[in-house]
Structure 1
Amino acid sequence: MEILFLVQGEGRGHLTQAISMGQILRSRGHKIVAAMVGTSPGRQVPSFFDEQILAPVLHFDAPNIIYNAQGGGMNLKKTLYTHFSNLPKYLKSLGKINKAIQEIRPDLIISFYDTFGGLYNLVYRSRIPMVCIAHQYLLMHPKFIFPKNSLINQLLINLNSKSTSWFAAKRLALSFREIPSRPDLKITVVPPLLRKEVVQLVPTRGNFFLVYMTHHSLSRQVIDWHLAHPEVVLHCFWDNADVSDEFAFDETLTFHRINSRKYLDMLATCGALVTTAGFESVCEAMYLGKPVMMVPVPNHFEQECNAIDGVISGAGVTTKSFDLSILLDYLPKHIDQSEKFRNWYHSGEETFVKEIHTFDKQASVNPKVKSEA
């Protein structure tokens, strides 16, 4: 089959999931004909995606989260204002997506939680089947455990997840652990998608903590803790484009520009991971047997959910700030879940192939006729 990817460009997780899915599908003879990625001002799609997706990459303007300048987390008011003021630009993006799909004419579209996926189906009533893949779809599962007193946020995030997957044929819900699927809700619970580069790593236990943050504004908290605990070696990855690729704050604190190979090498050798509760980062750490301290971005409900789910799954501990003293206290109590997690993960490839093969059969029965133009 010829398959087109629609990928949300915010953060790293959806990008690496697309790379992993591409690796699986190509190994079974399918072709990724293009990857369309949403971008926004001030945020670049990491170079590792262009290098590893092995398909033409097309960009379009997409909404993104606006963060407070001093590390206060998501600025909801400014985020909503920016989204509404940019509506004309986003409508043009929808048209650009449709034009590309009409020209490429794939057999299947796989959307990695892209904002425009469901809207494209709604507006253009495409006959090309779409499969939507994300951890966020697990939050639509009746058995998912949410933070307390969060009913309104639950409704809002699930409304967003539904909007990204309107008229989709399937929702593949990535999960830290095995949970029964709900076909009646178009929810198939599947293992995480990890790149082969992660699976091939040989983990060792180093003497430093690795820190990954979704936005460089959060670095202030890390620096404040570090100044009180300079004896703890920290290596931090951020998206700050205003400094060099490697910025040594002092002898025991170093900031690195996001670099896939470098990050994975350090993940394999760190003593523990501190991360802003992104699903993909936690999965990589669990596979390698690394304890995790999950720090949800303030006012970011999705990450709060990820953190609770991660704790239930045995990934580590969660806290509201980059107070790494909590991690130091937790480490002696951590129980390694890597073997259980790896067994769950390794059941995934056949599951994904089986789910996608359904559409391969449909394409064989109803072969498309390519335009002579």
Structure 2
Amino acid sequence: MKIFYAIQATGNGHISRAMQLYPYLQKYGTIDFFLSGNNTSLDIKLPVKYKSKGCSLHYSKCGGLDYWDIVKNIKPRQIYKDAESLPLKDYDIIINDFDSITSLACKMQNVNSVQLGHQASFISTHTPRPEKKSLMGEMILKHYAPSRKNIGLHFEKYDSFILPPIIKDEIIASEPTNLKHITVYLPSFDKDCLEKAFNSIPGIQFHWFLNTVEQTHKIGNITYFPVNQKKFNKSLITCEGIITGGGFETPSEALYLGKKVLSIPIRNHYEQECNAAALKKLGVPVVYEVGDDFNTIIENWIDLDLIYPKMQANNIPETLEYLFDTYKD
């Protein structure tokens, strides 16, 4: 069987999920990956056969999206050409993790696909949303990468087609400990937006993962790390808690390990606002604006006695069996 797998590379989560699924998918046949976007900072250990600049995210300095940069870097003519050139009819199955180019190619070539991933869960009206819904945000979630069939992943089973998050094997096999440091992964924040707050709490050790760091080094109470999956996994497994955005994969793994989570969703990023609403239902503290009191917020969060519901891990063989059966129907 020939499998085409499209990955939306607007962050590291989609790629991390694909790398976890890859050895399981190999049991079904050969896989060619399509990488759309250029926001990832991971070492991609996948057979990527096709690439496109697609639509990538651009951030403002301290925790928001830069919509002007996003729009000016979109090339509609190139996107159309990229969709037209994908040889989808050469494949037995098309798996799409929220990529608009693949969805467009399926429509142009009259080929079916199945959307597998977190964004697919938002097809359901039962999936948590913030109190103030965004009409534009809802349109993007439902129409950016449409597919005839959907298998969603989320923190809880909000609907019949929504399954638990895919957790990396290394996380599942680990024995979590608490070495009292706080892991930080906030790719939408520049270094100088948060450094002062971390420095002002010298009694707390931070492991801060940044795209701009090339070598691990320590200054004061902050150890700066490059974005590296093995180093990040180790830090997460041994941390007291993690400060991260309103994404899906990182909070899922932290909650699976029983770690404290402080979520700071990217401003004006509707999917992250939806995830934040779901995390709040699980008892996770959410911060929407980082101000001069951020150090106090961190200290209060660490002092909280937080107990979260146990996060389930996805049964990958069962999910893939369901996916291939769903595709045949």
Q: TM-score, normalised by structure 2?
A: 0.90
CA offsets per residue over residues 258-317 of structure 1, 9 Å max, x none? Answer: 111110011000010110111000011011111110001122121111111112134x21
Query: Which residue of 268, 271, 286 maps to 1:299?
Result: 268
Q: Structure 2: give runs of 5+ residues left out of the alignment.
A: none
Return the alpha-carbon distance in structure 1 between the equivalents of residues 107 and 269 of structure 2: 27
The Cα shift of 1:207 comes to 1.2
Matched position secondary structure for 1:245: coil
Identity of aligned residues (%): 22
Matched position secondary structure for 1:341: coil
Return the alpha-carbon distance in structure 1 between the equivalents of residues 162 and 179 of structure 2: 34
Matched position secondary structure for 2:190: helix
CA contact (8 A) 1:33 1:56 kept: no
In structure 1, give the amino acid aligned to 2:174.
L
Query: Which residue of 74, 95, 99 maps to 1:114?
Result: 99
CA offsets per residue over residues 244-270 of structure 1, 9 Å max, x none? Answer: 23243x121122111111100110000
CA contact (8 A) 1:191 1:348 kept: no
CA contact (8 A) 1:9 1:37 kept: yes
Question: Root-mean-square deviation (CA), in Å?
Answer: 2.2
CA contact (8 A) 1:192 1:348 kept: no
Return the alpha-carbon distance in structure 1 between the equivalents of residues 325 and 22 of structure 2: 14
Q: Structure 1: give runs of 5+ residues left out of the alignment.
A: 182-187, 363-373
The Cα shift of 1:72 comes to 4.8
- The equivalences for 1:1-373 within 5 A come to 1-26=1-26, 29-40=27-38, 43-47=39-43, 49-50=44-45, 53=46, 55-68=47-60, 70-83=61-74, 86-96=75-85, 98-99=86-87, 101-102=88-89, 105-126=90-111, 129-150=112-133, 153=134, 155-166=135-146, 168-181=147-160, 188-215=161-188, 217-240=189-212, 243-248=213-218, 250-314=219-283, 316-322=284-290, 323-331=294-302, 332-337=304-309, 340-342=310-312, 345-347=313-315, 349-359=317-327
Matched position secondary structure for 1:116: helix
Task: Check 1:239–1:92 CA distance in 2 against 1; reply closer, same or farther (3 A cut).
Answer: farther
Structure 1 window deviating more from structure 2 (285-294 vs 303-312): it is 303-312
The Cα shift of 1:358 comes to 4.0
Return the alpha-carbon distance in structure 2 between the equivalents of residues 325 and 57 of structure 1: 48
CA contact (8 A) 2:216 2:225 kept: yes
Return the alpha-carbon distance in structure 2 between the equivalents of residues 94 and 63 of structure 1: 13
In structure 1, give the amino acid aligned to 2:66.
N
CA contact (8 A) 2:122 2:142 kept: no
The Cα shift of 1:44 comes to 4.9
The Cα shift of 1:148 comes to 2.0
Q: TM-score, normalised by structure 1?
A: 0.80
Matched position secondary structure for 2:235: helix
CA offsets per residue over residues 145-176 of structure 1, 9 Å max, x none? Answer: 322222xx2x323322333443x231111110
The Cα shift of 1:57 comes to 4.1
CA contact (8 A) 1:221 1:321 kept: no
CA contact (8 A) 2:177 2:239 kept: yes
The ranges of structure 1 where at least 4 consecutive aligned residues each deviate by more than 6 angstroms after the TM superposition are none
Return the alpha-carbon distance in structure 2 between the equivalents of residues 318 and 233 of structure 1: 21
The Cα shift of 1:213 comes to 1.6
Return the alpha-carbon distance in structure 2 between the equivalents of residues 161 and 252 of structure 1: 40
**Match of residue 185 from structure 1:** none
In structure 2, give the amino acid aligned to 1:141.
S
The Cα shift of 1:239 comes to 1.5
The Cα shift of 1:324 comes to 4.8
CA contact (8 A) 1:67 1:75 kept: yes
The Cα shift of 1:23 comes to 3.2
